Amino acid sequence: MCWSRALVTGSVLLLVQLLCSEAVPISMDKTKVKEPEKQPEEPPASVDTGLHYDRYLREVIDFLEKDQHFREKLHNTDMEDIKQGKLAKELDFVSHHVRTKLDELKRQEVNRLRTLIKAKQDIEGGNDIALDHQALLKQFEYLNHMNPHTFEVDDLDRLIKSATKDLENYDKERHEEFKRYEMMKEHDRREHLKTLDEEERKKEEEHYEEMRKKHADHPKVNHPGSQNQLKEVWEEADGLDPEDFDPKTFFNLHDTNGDGFFDEQELEALFTKELEKIYDPTNEEDDMVEMEEERLRMREHVMNEVDSNKDRLVSLDEFLVATKKKEFLEPDSWETLEQNQAYTDEEMREFEEHLAQQEQDLNQKAVDLQKQRDELERQQEQLNAQKIELQQVSNIEGNAIPEIHPVDNQLHPEQEAEPQGHQPAPQDTPQEHHEQQHQDLAQQGLPQTHQDLPPGHQEAAQGQHNLP
């Protein structure tokens, strides 16, 4: 939460005036003064408007300001004409180079919005849902989504009106944010007390009341924008005699950018001395978030009293007129935040009910998620069991050994199925086979041993027998 973020003007005109303002040249004797080396000019520090399309707004303004014709028309157009869209029509006379750059800026902005829409859908888990970008872009009123390619008069008109309206609502949104902050702080305090025993709770309550009283004990706070308040700045910040206070001189001293207006940031700077009476960052009892809310309240109060044309700027003429009013000379006392609670009891009750409902929804969501997790774990266990079973079956089939029949009198099934007449004869033993060979040789009249061979053939047969 950025409570110190500065606001800029409520319209394109005012913002461009800040960008275009030039300092009055001061004459000097160049023969006596040595000219400093020229340094490259740095662009003015950009001011964040707080709008989600802030960058697009500032880039469009920067390029329009470069066109001489548009710049001249801008300075000659009043606020009401700008709000009615008369200035936007001058876009038709802008140079081709500027129009081309504006077209490019618009295409980039449309692409940025589409990317944001897609990212939001991804976060919400709608990846499978088809996006209707044209329908979704309707929520962005500051550009014409029906023509995403070129920057036209309607785009400038939409941008001016949207920026004006959004900036007017910005302070309201900041107040609502601060109110939620204060209620959450009180809710946390109450929840903390519930965790303590009776004695500790009593001590905590006493300490809380002591801090409240200590915070409320501060010097008197002047009414913002009153003579007393401005004289105090004149004396303590500017170091000038309060008897010599001059409203016009004061205005010129604190118009820091010299554009002839007090913008919101310059106004808020005037209240620093008053805020230092109430808040000290080193004190436990002082909340710096509350200090920035107090600053915002002071600035809004002065704007409502002094800014007569409601352009979110205070001109010199408006300032001088305000210094002559009774409210400036004899102001009422200023009630600080501790005298004006940011929320009512009813708002606090509704806020706590909303928090309780949110907590209940989150708890239910946690239960649902746990059930989903348990179911996923159960399914994973089933898948693991199936995987193990499949691996076991695969191992059994891969390691199967074919049946081997021993060399014996057992027959294979197909052999057993053969007829008896086709059974092979039983094999003889080696000794029976040798005796059968001798009988066959004797029947044929052939020698059966070495001794039966003729002389001379016995040695040859013996030699063959001894060969390895």
Is there a domain that residue 445 lies in? Answer: no
Q: Which residue type is seen at 457?
A: H
Is there a domain that residue 439 lies in? Answer: no
Do 101 and 153 lie in one domain? The reply is: yes
Least confident range of 22-36, 310-324, 390-404: 22-36
Do 214 and 94 lie in one domain? The reply is: no
Residue 187, Cβ neighbours under 10 Å: how many?
14
Total domain count, the chain: 3
Is there a domain that residue 236 lies in? Answer: yes
Residue 318, Cβ neighbours under 10 Å: how many?
17
Give me the percent of the chain exceeding a pLDDT of 70: 69
Q: What is the pLDDT of residue 14?
A: 43
Is there a domain that residue 372 lies in? Answer: yes
Q: What is the pLDDT of residue 163?
A: 79
Do 242 and 305 lie in one domain? The reply is: yes
> Looking at the predicted structure, is the pLDDT value of residue 416 above 60?
no
pLDDT band (50, 70, 90) for residue 401: low
Is there a domain that residue 113 lies in? Answer: yes
Do 228 and 262 lie in one domain? The reply is: yes
Length of the chain in terms of residues written: 468
Angle, helix 247-254 to helix 227-236, in steps of 10 degrees = 60
Place of tokens 């004459």: 27
pLDDT band (50, 70, 90) for residue 146: confident
Q: What is the pLDDT of residues 455-465, one digit of tens each?
A: 554 444 444 44
Q: What is the pLDDT of residue 402?
A: 56
Q: What is the pLDDT of residues 47-101, one digit of tens each?
A: 556 677 888 888 888 888 888 888 888 777 776 677 667 778 888 888 888 888 8
Domain end (from 136, 161, 186): 161
Burial class (CB in 10 A: 0-12, 13-18, 19+), 57: buried
Q: What is the pLDDT of residue 280?
A: 95
Q: What is the pLDDT of residue 429?
A: 54
Domain with 369, as residue range(s), is 347-391
Q: What is the pLDDT of residue 351?
A: 95
**Which residues, other chains included, contact 228 with Cβ-Cβ below 8 Å and sequence gap of 6+?**
222, 331
Q: What is the largest CA-CA distance in the chain?
A: 167
Q: What is the pLDDT of residue 41?
A: 43
Is there a domain that residue 48 lies in? Answer: no
Do 204 and 302 lie in one domain? The reply is: yes
**Which residues, other chains included, contact 153 with Cβ-Cβ below 8 Å and sequence gap of 6+?**
88, 89, 91, 92
Do 85 and 206 lie in one domain? The reply is: no
Do 201 and 233 lie in one domain? The reply is: yes
Least confident range of 30-44, 163-177, 191-205, 420-434: 30-44
Q: What is the pLDDT of residue 132?
A: 56
Q: What is the pLDDT of residue 123?
A: 67
What SS3 class is residue 314? Answer: strand
Q: What is the mean pLDDT of residues 443-456?
A: 51
Q: What is the mean pLDDT of residues 426-453?
A: 53
Distances (CA, A) of 288 to 3, 135, 285, 292, 456: 9, 42, 10, 6, 135
Give the range with max mean pLDDT: 167-176, 335-344, 403-412, 450-459. Answer: 335-344
Is there a domain that residue 435 lies in? Answer: no
Name which of 165, 187, 186, 184 is nearest 176 in CA terms: 184
Do 249 and 316 lie in one domain? The reply is: yes
pLDDT band (50, 70, 90) for residue 36: very low
Domain end (from 161, 186, 205): 161
Do 201 and 313 lie in one domain? The reply is: yes
Average pLDDT, the chain: 77
Q: What is the mean pLDDT of residues 310-325?
A: 91
Do 304 and 368 lie in one domain? The reply is: no
> Looking at the predicted structure, is the pLDDT value of residue 24 above 80?
no
The Cα–Cα gap between 223 and 220 comes to 9
Give the range with max mean pLDDT: 114-123, 165-174, 225-234, 328-337. Answer: 225-234
Is there a domain that residue 37 lies in? Answer: no
Distances (CA, A) of 397 to 224, 337, 383, 393, 402: 93, 84, 21, 6, 11
Q: What is the pLDDT of residue 157?
A: 83
The first and second tokens of residue 283, run together, are 């004190």
* CATH code of the domain containing 309: 1.10.238.10
Do 239 and 361 lie in one domain? The reply is: no
Q: What is the pLDDT of residues 251-304, one digit of tens each?
A: 999 999 888 999 888 999 999 999 999 999 999 999 999 999 999 999 999 999
pLDDT band (50, 70, 90) for residue 377: very high
Do 226 and 317 lie in one domain? The reply is: yes
